[in-house]
C-alpha cells in the first residue's frame, strides 16, 4: 500500500477519530527512546528531502508540471515547521512559500480566489501555501461570516478552480496537519513560558481555541467536500513534529516519483561544441 | 580587520588585478588536499549558515530592519549556488529570492527601477536579488543600448534609490561574484559535456562571453560609482565555490552581528497566563 493512502480521508471522515499521535515508523523489535526515535525520523526525512531536492531540479528543468502544496491546520499545528523541515533543502530559485494572512483592504475588494490565483506556481515551480483559500470556508463559516448556502457555493467554486489548475498542469497536494487539543495547549503554553517567544503569541489564538470543536467539524466538512483524486487531502498526525515531517515528505516524494519526470532531451547541436 | 573589508573595492579598482582564486582560509601548517579543504570550507559555511538562520529569526521577530542582498556576476559565476549554499538553511517564510530576467513587455513600459522596487524586502524580511537593477547599467551599456550620459544619470538614480531604501530601514549588501575567464570556460564546457545540463545552456551565454573585457571594465565603473558606506559592494573571489560561499556567509554574519538585533520585549500580560 502506498504511504500516501495511510493519510487519505475515509468516506465518513471523523477527524476526532483520527489519532493525532499515530506513528508512521514503528520501532519494530528494538525499543527506541524518544530521542533515538526523533533522530531516526529526522534522518529519514533528510533522506527524503534530498529526493525532493533532486526531483525539484528535474521539475524545473522539464517545465512540464507545476507543484502546489497546501498546508492547513489549527494554530500551532506546525505549518511553518513543515516548510522548514520538509522543504528546507530545495533550491529557493524554483520554490516559493506564500503565507496567507487576513486579507488586506485591496484583497477584500476582490473575490476570495483572486489573491490565491495570483500566487499559483509557474511551470517547473514548487509553491507552498501556508494557509490558503480554505480559510474562506473555515474561519469564515465557524464565525458565521458566511452562511451554509454560501459555503456550499464556495466548495463548488474551489473544486472548479482546482480542477482548472490541474487540467493546466498543476499537481496539487493538500495537507491537514492534525493536532490534538491537548497538544495545542502545550504549544501555546510554551510560547507564553518563554519570553523570547512572546512575539509569536497572538491573543486571537486563544479566541479561536474556544471554537476548537466547531473547527474540527468544519474541517471534516471541508475535506469531505473538496477531496478529489486530482487534488487529494492528506490528514497528517501532527502531535509529533518529526513524524509529521516524515509523513509529509513521504507523500511528496511518492507523488513526485509517480510523475516520471525527465530531463529535457540533450541538444544535438551542443554535442561537439568546445568553448574558446 | 573585519572579514568584510577584505572584499571591499579599492579606490582605483581594477577587477582584473583582483585574484578570482584568492582563498579566505589558508591551510596553515597542515597541507590539506583539495577535498579536505572543500569539506573544511563547507563545514565553516554551514556553521555560519546556522548563525544567519538564528539572526533571521531575530530580524523577523523584531521587524526593525529589512535585509536586501544583491548578487551580480558574469554567467556561471555562481549566483544560484550562493543562494543555495549560503541562504539554504533560513526559514523560507521570512526570506525570498527574486531572479530578474530580461524585462517583460509590461516591465519595459515602466522605468527600470519599477520592477525592482516592487520586490524589496518588508520589515523583518530577507530578500535576495539574483541579478538586479545593476543589469540596467551593465548589459545595457556594454551593448550600447544606453549611452554614457544616460548611464551616468542612472548611477545617480541608483545611489538615490538605495539611499532612500537605507533611510527607511533597509540594510543593503551587494556582492560581485568575481570569476576568471578561464573558470567560466570550464563551467560552460561542463554544461555542454553533460547532456543532463543542456537545459541550463543558453547560446546567448557564448555571445556575452565575447564581451568579457567590456563587462569587466563596466563592472569596475559601476562598482566605483555605486559603492557607498550604506550600500557597500563586496568583490568575492568566486573561482572556488566553497570559498565563495564562505566569504559571502562571513560578510553577511558580520553585518547581522553589527545590527545588535534583539527579541521584542516580553509581554507582561502573558507572565502568568495558563492555557485551559
Computed over every residue of chain A, the mean pLDDT equals 92
Q: Which residues pair with B97 in a beta bridge?
A: B128
- pLDDT at position B150 is 97
Q: At B97, which helix (H) or strand (E)?
A: strand B95-99
With an 8 Å Cβ cutoff, is A199 touching chain B? yes
Confidence of residue B192 (pLDDT cuts 50, 70, 90): very high
**Inter-chain CB proximity B97 and A92 less than 8 Å:** yes
Q: A119 — contact with chain B (CB < 8 Å)?
A: no
Q: Chain B contact for A212, CB < 8 A? A: no
Q: Are A25 and A44 in contact (CB under 8 A)?
A: yes
pLDDT at residue A106 above 70?
yes
pLDDT of B17? 64
Instruction: Please name the residue that has the C-alpha cell 551587494.
Output: B174
Q: For residue A60, what pLDDT is reported?
A: 95
What region does B69 belong to: left with phi over 0, alpha with psi -120 to 50, or beta?
A: beta
Q: What pLDDT is recorded for position A20? A: 83
Q: Measured on CA atoms in the order B5, B72, A99, A39, is the torsion positive or negative?
A: negative
Using the Cβ of B209 and the Cβ atoms of chain A, whether some distance falls under 8 Å is answered with yes
**Chains A and B: how many Cβ contacts under 8 Å?**
91
Residues of chain A found within 8 Å of residue B204, distances taken between Cβ atoms: none
Reduced to 3 states (helix: H, G, I; strand: E, B; else coil), residue B240 is: coil
List the single range of A133-137, A222-226, B6-10 with lowest mean pLDDT.
Answer: B6-10
Instruction: Return the biggest CA–CA distance within chain A.
Output: 70
B-chain residues within 8 Å CB-CB of A263? 195-196, 198-199
Q: Give the mean model confidence (pLDDT) for residues A154-170.
A: 96
Chain B contact present for A188, CB below 8 A: yes
Q: Does B104 touch chain A (CB under 8 A)?
A: no
Taking the C-alpha atoms of residue B248 and residue B48, their distance in angstroms, rounded to an integer, is 10
Q: pLDDT tens digits for A218-248?
A: 999 999 999 999 999 999 999 999 999 999 9
Cβ separation of A83 and B89 shorter than 8 Å? Answer: no
CB atoms A275 and B209 under 8 Å: yes
Report, as an integer, the average pLDDT of A60-68: 96
Mean pLDDT of A121-136: 97
Q: Poorest-confidence range of A84-93, A95-104, B190-199?
A: A84-93
Please determine, for residue A92, whether its predicted confidence score (pLDDT) is greater than 90. no
pLDDT tens profile A22-34? 777 666 656 788 8
Which chain B residue's Cα is nearest to A87? B92
**Interface contact A46, partner B, CB < 8 A:** no
Which residue segments constitute the domains of chain B, with CATH numbers given?
3-259 (3.40.50.300)
Query: Cβ contact (<8 Å) for A266 and B209?
Result: no
Contacts of B201 in chain A (CB under 8 A): 267, 270
Three-state DSSP state, A231: strand
Contact B192 A95 (CB under 8 A): no
Considering only the beta carbons, identify the residue of A83, A89, A128 that sits closest to B88: A89
Residue B3 has a pLDDT of 82
Residue among B76, B80, B85 at smallest CA distance from B247: B85
- pLDDT surpassing 80 at residue B12: no
User: What's the pLDDT at A188?
Assistant: 95
CA of B192: how far to CAs of A84, A93, B188, B205, in Å? 34, 22, 7, 12
Shortest alpha-carbon distance between residue A7 and chain B (Å): 26
The predicted model gives B241-264 an average pLDDT of 96
pLDDT higher than 90, residue A11: no
Residue that wins the pLDDT comparison between B200 and B222: B222
B55-73 pLDDT tens trace: 999 999 999 999 999 999 9
C-alpha cell of residue B149: 550620459
If contacts are CB pairs under 8 Å, which of residues 49-88 in chain B contact chain A?
Answer: 61, 80, 83-84, 87-88
Backbone angles phi, psi at B174, to 5 degrees: -115, 130
The arrangement of strands across the sheet holding A66-73 comes to: A95-99, A126-130, A66-73, A170-178, A233-237
pLDDT at B13 over 80: no
Closest alpha carbon to A91 in A128, A126, A62:
A126
Grid coordinates in use for A113? 480566489
Is A189 within 8 Å of B83 when comparing Cβ atoms? Answer: no
Pairing of strands A126-130, A95-99: parallel
Distance CA B212, CA B198 (A): 22
Mutate which: A92, A185, A205, A207, vs B, most B CBs within 10 A: A92
Question: Which set of grid coordinates corresponds to residue A187?
Answer: 504549544
Question: Which among A64, A108, A86 has a CA at the least distance from the CA of A260?
Answer: A64
Closest residue by Cα to residue A116 from A98, A92, A104: A98
Looking at residue B26, what is its pLDDT? 65
Contact by Cβ (8 Å): A121, A67: yes
Determine the residue of chain A that is closest to B276 in CA distance: A185
- Per DSSP, B234 falls in state E
pLDDT value at residue A142: 97
Q: Residue A7's CB: how many other CB atoms inside 10 A?
A: 22
> Is A192 near chain B, with CB under 8 Å?
yes
Contacts of A61 in chain B (CB under 8 A): 199-200
- As a whole-number percent, the residues of chain A with pLDDT over 90 amount to 77
**Exposed e or buried b per residue across A238-269, where buried means at least 16 C-beta atoms within 10 angstroms of its C-beta:** bbbbbbbbbbbbbbbbbbbeeeebeeeeeeee
Question: CB under 8 Å to B108, separation ≥6 — which residues?
Answer: none
| Contacts with B195 from chain A: Cβ below 8 Å | 263, 266
Say yes or no for a CB contact (<8 Å) between A198 and B264.
yes
pLDDT of residue B249: 97
The pLDDT tens digits for B76-126 are: 999 999 998 999 888 888 899 999 999 999 999 999 999 999 999 999 999
Chain-centroid distance of CA A48 in Å reads 16
Asked if A264 and B198 come within 8 Å (Cβ–Cβ), the reply is yes
Average pLDDT score over chain B: 92
Question: In chain B, whose CA is at the least distance from the CA of A188?
Answer: B275
Check if the beta carbon of residue B68 is closer than 8 Å to that of residue B252: no
Question: Mean pLDDT over residues B245-251, rounded?
Answer: 96
Can you give the pLDDT at residue A221? Answer: 96
> Complex ipTM above 0.90?
no
Amino acid at each position: 500500500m502506498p504511504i500516501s493512502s495511510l493519510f487519505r480521508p475515509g468516506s465518513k471522515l471523523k477527524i476526532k477519530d483520527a489519532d493525532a499521535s499515530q506513528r508512521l515508523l514503528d520501532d519494530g523489535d528494538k525499543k527506541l527512546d524518544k530521542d533515538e526515535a526523533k533522530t531516526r525520523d529526522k534522518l529519514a526525512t533528510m533522506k527524503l528531502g534530498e529526493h525532493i531536492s533532486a526531483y525539484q531540479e528535474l521539475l524545473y528543468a522539464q517545465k512540464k508540471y507545476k507543484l502546489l502544496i497546501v498546508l492547513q491546520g489549527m494554530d500551532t499545528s506546525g505549518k511553518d515547521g513543515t516548510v522548514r523541515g520538509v522543504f528546507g533543502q530545495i533550491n529557493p530559485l524554483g520554490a516559493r512559500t506564500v503565507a496567507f494572512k487576513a486579507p488586506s483592504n485591496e484583497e477584500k475588494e476582490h473575490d476570495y480566489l483572486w489573491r490565491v490565483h495570483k500566487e499559483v506556481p509557474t511551470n517547473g515551480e514548487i509553491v507552498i501555501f501556508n494557509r490558503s483559500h480554505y480559510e474562506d470556508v473555515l474561519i469564515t463559516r465557524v464565525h458565521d461570516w458566511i452562511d451554509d448556502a454560501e459555503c456550499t457555493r464556495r466548495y463548488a467554486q474551489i473544486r472548479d478552480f482546482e480542477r482548472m489548475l490541474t487540467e493546466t498542469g498543476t499537481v496539487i497536494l493538500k495537507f491537514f496537519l492534525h493536532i490534538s487539543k491537548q497538544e495545542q495547549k502545550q504549544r501555546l503554553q510554551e510560547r507564553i513560558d518563554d519570553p523570547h517567544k512572546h512575539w509569536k503569541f497572538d491573543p486571537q489564538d486563544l479566541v479561536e481555541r474556544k471554537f476548537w470543536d466547531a473547527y474540527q467539524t468544519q474541517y471534516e466538512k471541508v475535506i469531505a467536500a473538496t477531496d478529489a483524486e486530482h487534488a487529494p487531502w492528506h490528514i497528517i498526525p501532527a502531535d509529533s513534529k518529526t513524524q509529521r515531517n516524515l509523513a509529509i515528505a513521504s507523500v511528496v516524494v511518492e507523488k513526485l516519483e509517480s510523475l516520471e519526470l525527465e530531463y529535457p532531451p540533450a541538444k544535438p547541436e551542443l554535442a561537439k561544441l568546445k568553448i574558446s
